[in-house]
Chains A and B, each alone.
Chain A
Amino acid sequence: MEKPPPEKSGSFSGHNVESHPPESHAEGELEDRENAKESSSISDSALPQVSQDIDRFLSYLALHEDKSNPPEVPDSVDVFCKLVEAMIGNYDSGDSSARFGRVPEDDTAFVESVGRISKLMNALRGFPVQSPAGAMYGRSGSVLQRAMSFLEDELRTLLEDSRSQISDSKSLKTKHPSFNSKEDHDRCPLPESESTGDDEYPAYPPDVVASMKKVAMAMISAGYETECCQVFSILRRNAFKEAVNKLGFDSISIDDVQKMHWETLEGEIATWIKVVKHCSHILFPGERRFAESVFEDYPAIFSSQFSNLARAAVIHFLNFAEAVAMTKRSAEKLFKFLDMYESLRDLVPTISSPTSDDNGHELKSETMTAGSRLGEAAVSIFCDLENSIKSDVSKTPVPSGAVHPLTRYTMNYLKYACEYKDTLEEVFQQHKKIERTDEAGSDVDERSSQNNAQPPVKQTPFSTQLIAVMDLLDSNLDTKSKLYKDMSLRNIFLMNNGRYILQKIKGSSEIHEVMGDTWCRRRSSDLRQYHKNYQRETWSKVLQCLRDEGLQVNGKVNKPVLKERFKTFNTLFDEIHKTQSTWVVSDEQLQSELRVSISAVMIPAYRSFLARFSQYLDSGRQTEKYVKYQPDDIETSIDELFDGNPTSMTRKRT
């Protein structure tokens, strides 16, 4: 596991002013920097030389295999230990300008020295305790422990300090310059730019991340991996939990979820969805990036750090999802369930990667299981629509032949559901195991391919279910239409409902796609048939009155018959007007189609009847008595049909 820190062949990289052009430093900063250098003067003065000595000693030790024969230990080893202790002391002095993270060069020097101490300790291991080498082993071990303990605290401080910055973006701006080392003005032009913290979660400035990375590397290569990972994981976990709690997420027990009213639960679900989405988009990618940059050279550590964090968080999201999926199923829950399903589905790629460890794979499969539980619930809720249609068996017809509430409910539900069409397809694929294609599915298939010259609509489990629902609605409406004794009204009812269904389907490209053009054409022709039936039922009798046949006997118009004809016509027409103006056709186009088609038949027939036969009535009283309507009156009256208006024509005509 031990990996040496990056070394520049023993050179003191502190002098290597990496990629920071000197002109970028303001004067004040340069001054500060000089001070900082002064305070770490020990390292500046003696460290490079002593480090070289240590490296030489290390190469000597590497060849010295006989542990029973301890070598001489040069003085530089003790000096070196003292130097490192002095560096720690300097960091710990309480002088804030000397803190870790202020002067990256010094930090690098320190971290490299710690690496050297660790190597020294390992190389001195095993010599007799009483020998100088053995004593130096103990000494270097103590120094190393002190350094590690210091670095552990530093890591904690780095992780914690920056965390408190997130909660207060104001202080991030003002505190930023003093918090970071001086060079960072060019590296990190942040303070001004409005970063909401969201885009850069977790909001550690790059130099802080760089410091963490240094610490992590030093600790891991000295064999303090567990300490390093523990600090990192506990603090990140807590920070993550805080971030999630801030969004309103709180654990609710499964027991409580079952007891909740739907309205309350709906609110909790909304919060949950918000939180899970935020995690997928911001928090998890952020944590992944962050862990990756801190543990850049240790992919195994990075990946276990991330998957542990993800796991700690996600299992609690899943608990809630499972609790919700367990609640009593009901139609109104479908859409929220699907929303939750989608959130989990989108969460999966953000918590797993091909390089995930077992932990990661397990989490992924747990997430998918929870998702599929929701999917399963959604499927069962959607399929339950069949039952609610079947169980709608009211024996009272809707007055005026209007659109039945069941039609409205079903179609609106379907329309809304089809906004989730792709997701529904997905969950149906997973859960609706072809059971339907055995029965209904296959013959639906046949039907659509029979009547269809075009390629048949592709049958999926969901579309099959949707078609089944539509068929069921049709047959239910057919039964309901039989509740109307009046054949004309029965046809109006069928027309109204059929029209409503067709309009809804045409209005939703998703349902339209599933049902297909053929289906729509068939429905349109059904509607035309209802229309024809209605015409025949209502108007053929009226037209009978306006026939020529039977009026003329031996070329002469039989007046009593004519009078009777007019009387019957008037009565019939009045009757129809009275009844059918209370009927409802709410679809304007359908209403006008009906009126136009009635007028187109009635007006010319009446007009010509009048033109040919009114002359046989005595003008004056008789005409007034029998010719109650002028053709224009007929037209006006027809235009009053299907208005759902119970008022009589007299009032309207005035």
Chain B
Amino acid sequence: MPSTENQGSSSPFMSFGRSILSIRREQVHSMEANHDPNTQESEIELFLQLISKRFHDLSVVSADELLSLAWMRKLLDAFICCHEEFRVILLNNKVQVCKPPLERLVAEFFDRCLKALDICNATRDGIEKIRQWEKQLEIVLSAMDSRQRTMGEGQFRRARKALMDLAIAMLDEKETGSIFSHRNRSFGRHQSSKDQRHHLPGHSRSLSWSVSRSWSAAKQLQSIANNLVPPRGNDISATNGLAVPVFAMSYVLMFVLWALVAAIPCQDRGLQIHCSVPRHFSWGAPFILLQERIMEESKKRERRNSSGLLKEINQMERCASHMTDLVDSIHFPLTDELKTEAGQQVQEVTLLCEALKNGLDPLERQVREVFRKIMNGRTEGLEFLGSVNKPE
């Protein structure tokens, strides 16, 4: 075992210089600390650069691309990639990781991981919801198949019915996932859903499986963000700098889940979480930019009440509303103008359906992969944290 001389190094009163020195000494003395401090530093540096690069790339996309399915997948991909690197850093520095204060910081990271898993599962349900909405659009498409040169009243009525069901389904979701989360809404909700059913017997709402009624994505996010503060100088020095990647990874975790909740319908969404922004770190810049852009997006008028900021949901709402207007305004026989417009609308819906069909399954798989990675990383980490503390 390495010397225990510096067990008090987590003490906040420890002077900065001394702890660095003693840590160095400890490293030299430690037989297991075969990890060269220089490689360690460059390892940390590379990791932070990786985060910076990946999220920079994500932050400079066009407004159209931001929060699209493709972008979400890139986001998760960035997470998986950073997480993997982080895992390696932990493995390479087992000795350090198992000692205070890093031990505590890493344990806190794993706690956050645990909370993240629930969000992954909730998101998975949200993706299923979008899939259900997409089915309604498919009906619109089969009603108004662009290959049909003539469209009759029946087809329009079919499309209108599907659009109405879609509107209700999305409205339903807005209530459960309202960004302006208000508690005790069950009363109002019951009433309204009964009303809806009454007016529109055609609709059957699908019950949500995933989480208990009281579960809240906003609360869960907040509990991940709680106490997520940049490490203090003496913690950084006492951990030989390793406190920084642990913080960075925790921040990435929190941020990615926040973006996921922002984009995908889930129970009691909320984007207003309190968390310190890593302004003082060079890798923090893209996050600040992204956070601003996403918040801005959420404040846009047409999005303020949305059930998810996912670009495709926005498109869905837009398509549905245009289509509804169109269908409502139609008189027979159709004018050529209306026909053309209908054709354009159908074209738009077709593209959207394609995007959803091709994007949702891979996104869900990726959410699953994120889940796996987080879980495995945690299990692995706790194993070696535990094995060191166990008496042999």
Q: For the complex, is B148 an interface residue (Cβ under 8 Å from A)? A: yes
**Interface residue? B161 (CB, 8 A):** yes
Q: Are A141 and B118 in contact (CB under 8 A)?
A: no
Binds A, one of B19-27, B78-86, B151-159, B297-305: B151-159
Within the assembled complex, what's the spacing in Å between the Cα atoms of A235 and B202?
12
Given contacts A254-B121, A315-B124, contact A226 B139 (CB under 8 A): yes
Q: Mark A301-330, 1 if CB is under 8 A from B, else 0.
A: 000000000001101100100110010000
- State whether the Cβ of A396 lies closer than 8 Å to any Cβ in chain B: no
CB-based contact B152/A141 at 8 Å: yes
Give the chain B neighbours of A224 by CB distance below 8 A.
142, 158
Q: List A contacts of B155 (CB < 8 A).
A: 141, 145
Give the shortest distance, in Å, between B256 (CB) and chain A (any CB): 17
Say whether A231 contacts B204, CB under 8 Å.
yes
Across the interface, do A149 and B210 meet the contact criterion of CB distance under 8 Å? no
Contact among A137, A230, A237, A323 with B150 in the assembled complex (CB-CB below 8 Å): A137
Tell me, yes or no, whether A255 is within 8 Å of chain B by CB.
yes
Q: Select from chain B the residue with minimum beta-carbon distance to A253.
A: B118
Number of chain B residues close to chain A: CB under 8 A? 46
CB distance from A305 to the nearest CB of B (A): 13
Is A538 in contact with chain B by the CB < 8 A criterion? no
Shortest Cβ distance from A127 into B: residue:
B150
A window 93-136: CB within 8 A of B: 121, 125-127, 129-130, 134
Proximity string of chain B (147-177) to chain A, C-beta cutoff 8 Å, 1 when within and 0 when not: 0111011110110011000000000000000
Q: Which residue of A lies closest to B161 (CB)?
A: A149
Q: How far is the CA of A308 from the CA of B368 in the complex (A)?
A: 17
Q: Let me know if A142 and B154 touch, CB within 8 A.
A: yes
Q: Which chain A residue shows the least CB distance to B382?
A: A328
Given A145-B158, A254-B121, A319-B121: A138 and B204 interface contact (C-beta under 8 Å): no
Task: Indicate if B201 sits at the interface (CB-CB under 8 A).
Answer: yes
B204 touches A145 (CB 8 A): no
Contact B206 A141 (CB under 8 A): no
Q: Does A205 lie at the interface of the complex (its beta carbon under 8 Å from any beta carbon of B)?
A: no
In the complex, what distance in Å separates the CA atom of A156 from the CA atom of B204? 9
Q: Give the distance in Å from the alpha carbon of A231 to the alpha carbon of B165 in the complex.
A: 11
Pick the residue among A121, A129, A141, A319 that contacts B333 (CB under 8 A).
Answer: A129
Say whether A255 contacts B209, CB under 8 Å.
no
**CB atoms of A235 and B209 under 8 A apart:** no
Cβ proximity bits A132-154 to B, threshold 8 Å, 1 near / 0 not: 00100111111111101100110
Binary CB contact string for chain B from 357 to 368 against chain A (1 if under 8 A, 0 otherwise): 000000000001
Interface membership of B215, Cβ < 8 A: yes
User: Contact between B115 and A255 (Cβ–Cβ < 8 Å)?
Assistant: yes
Bound Cα distance A126, B154 (Å): 15
Asked if residues A137 and B201 are in contact (CB atoms below 8 Å), the reply is no
Bound CA span A127–B152, Å: 12
Expressed in whole angstroms, the Cα–Cα distance for A143 and B152 within the complex equals 11
Q: Is the CB of A134 within 8 A of B139?
A: no
Measured CA separation A352–B333 after assembly (Å): 51
| Pairwise interchain contact A241-B209, C-beta atoms closer than 8 A | yes
Which chain B residues lie closer than 8 Å to A149 at the CB level?
157-158, 161, 202
Return the contact of A322 from the options B136, B205, B375 (Cβ within 8 A): B375
Interface contact A125-B207, CB-CB below 8 Å: no
Q: Is A639 an interface residue (CB 8 A)?
A: no
Q: Are B153 and A141 in contact (CB under 8 A)?
A: yes
Instruction: Determine how close the nearest CB of chain A comes to the CB of B37; give it in whole angstroms.
Output: 33
A258 in the interface, Cβ–Cβ < 8 Å?
A: yes
> In this assembly, does A191 line the interface, its C-beta being within 8 Å of a C-beta of chain B?
no
Which listed residue, B121, B128, B135, B334, touches A226 by the CB 8 Å rule?
A: B135
Task: Name the residue on B nearest A316 (C-beta).
Answer: B209
B188 within 8 Å of A (CB atoms): no
Q: Which residues of B contact A143 (CB under 8 A)?
A: 154
Q: Which residues of A contact B142 (CB under 8 A)?
A: 223-224, 226
Contact B138 A238 (CB under 8 A): no
Q: How many angstroms from the CA of A144 to the CA of B210 in the assembled complex? A: 38
A237–B204 alpha-carbon span in the complex (Å)? 11
Neighbour of B154 across the interface among A144, A322, A391, CB < 8 A: A144
| Complex contact A313–B209 (CB within 8 A) | yes
B201 to chain A: which residues have CB within 8 Å? Answer: 153
Give the distance in Å from the alpha carbon of A548 to the alpha carbon of B375 in the complex: 80
A254 to B114, CA, bound (A): 7
Number of residue pairs A-B, CB distance < 8 angstroms: 114
Once the chains bind, are A238 and B158 in contact (CB under 8 Å)?
A: no
Partner of A126, one of B117, B149, B157, B368: B149
The answer to the question of B42 belonging to the interface, with a C-beta cut-off of 8 Å to chain A, is no
Q: Which residues of B contact A141 (CB under 8 A)?
A: 152-155
B184-228 interface code vs A (CB 8 A; 1 in, 0 out): 000000000000000001101111011110010000100000000
B331 on interface, CB distance cutoff 8 Å = no
Q: Indicate if the CB atoms of A237 and B207 lie closer than 8 Å.
A: yes
Q: Which of A130, A138, A390 has the most CB of B within 10 A?
A: A138
Closest A-chain residue to B210, C-beta based?
A251
Confirm or deny: B391 has a beta carbon within 8 angstroms of a beta carbon on chain A: yes
Q: Cβ of B332 < 8 Å from any Cβ of A? A: yes
* Residue B379 is within 8 A (CB to CB) of chain A in the complex: yes
Among residues of A, the one whose C-beta sits closest to the C-beta of B138 is: A226
In the complex, are the beta carbons of B204 and A238 less than 8 A apart? yes
A353 at the interface (CB under 8 A from B): no
- The distance in angstroms between the C-alpha atoms of A402 and B161, with both chains bound, is 81
1/0 contact string of A228-243 vs chain B (CB within 8 Å): 0111001101100100
Residues of B contacting A130 with CB < 8 Å? Answer: 333
A237–B207 alpha-carbon span in the complex (Å): 8
Residues of chain A contacted by B391 (CB below 8 angstroms)? 391
Interface residues of B in 212-262 (CB under 8 A from A): 212, 215, 220
B390 close to A (CB within 8 Å): yes
- Identify which of B204, B212, B375 contacts A234 (C-beta below 8 A): B204
Question: Which of chain B's residues has its CB closest to A152's CB?
Answer: B202
Does A552 reach chain B (CB closer than 8 Å)?
no
Tell me, yes or no, whether A250 is within 8 Å of chain B by CB: yes
**For the complex, what is the distance from the CA of A231 to the CA of B201, rounded to whole Å?**
12
> Is the C-beta of A387 less than 8 angstroms from some C-beta in chain B?
yes
Judge whether A230 and B135 touch: CB under 8 Å: yes
Question: Could you say which residues of chain A place their CB within 8 Å of the CB of B158?
Answer: 145, 148-149, 224
Asked if A247 CB lies within 8 Å of chain B CBs, one says no
| Interface residue from B153, B220, B375 paired with A142 (Cβ < 8 Å) | B153
Task: Note all chain B residues with C-beta closer than 8 A to A188.
Answer: none
A199-249 contacts to B (CB < 8 Å): 223-224, 226-227, 229-231, 234-235, 237-238, 241
Query: Do A251 and B209 have beta carbons less than 8 Å apart?
Result: yes
Name which of A127, A129, A227, A312 has the most chain B CB atoms within 10 A of its CB. A227
A139 and chain B: residue at smallest CB distance: B152
Is A254's CB under 8 angstroms from B154's CB?
Answer: no
CA distance A252 to B213 in the complex (A): 10
> Which of A130, A141, A146 has the most C-beta atoms of chain B within 10 angstroms of its own C-beta?
A141
With A and B bound together, what is the CA distance between A125 and B375 in angstroms? Answer: 56
The complex places the Cα of A19 from the Cα of B144 at a distance, in Å, of 42
Task: Please indicate the chain A residues that have their CB under 8 angstroms from the CB of B390 in the complex.
Answer: 387
What is the chain A residue whose CB lies nearest that of B159?
A145
What are the residues of chain B within 8 A of A323 when measuring CB–CB?
117
Give the complex CA separation of A234 and B150 in angstroms. Answer: 32
Query: Contact: B206 with A234, CB < 8 Å?
Result: yes
CB contacts under 8 Å to B, within A409-436, are none
Compute how far the CA of A130 lies from the CA of B334 in the bound complex, rounded to whole angstroms. Answer: 11
Closest chain B CB from A40 CB (angstroms): 24
CB of B144, distance to nearest CB on chain A (Å): 12
Q: Is the CB of A312 within 8 A of B209?
A: yes
A153 to chain B, nearest CB (A): 7
Chain B's closest residue to A323 (CB) is B117
- If the complex has contacts A143-B154, A145-B158, are A153 and B212 also in contact, measured as CB distance less than 8 A? no
Task: Provide 18 A-B residue pairs closer than 8 Å at the C-beta atoms, listed in order of the A residue.
Answer: A125-B150, A126-B150, A145-B153, A149-B202, A156-B204, A226-B142, A230-B139, A234-B204, A234-B206, A237-B207, A241-B207, A253-B211, A254-B117, A255-B115, A313-B209, A315-B121, A326-B114, A391-B391
Besides A226-B139, A255-B114, A319-B121, 14 other CB < 8 A contacts?
A121-B154, A126-B150, A129-B150, A144-B154, A149-B202, A226-B135, A234-B206, A254-B118, A255-B117, A255-B118, A315-B121, A326-B375, A326-B378, A391-B391
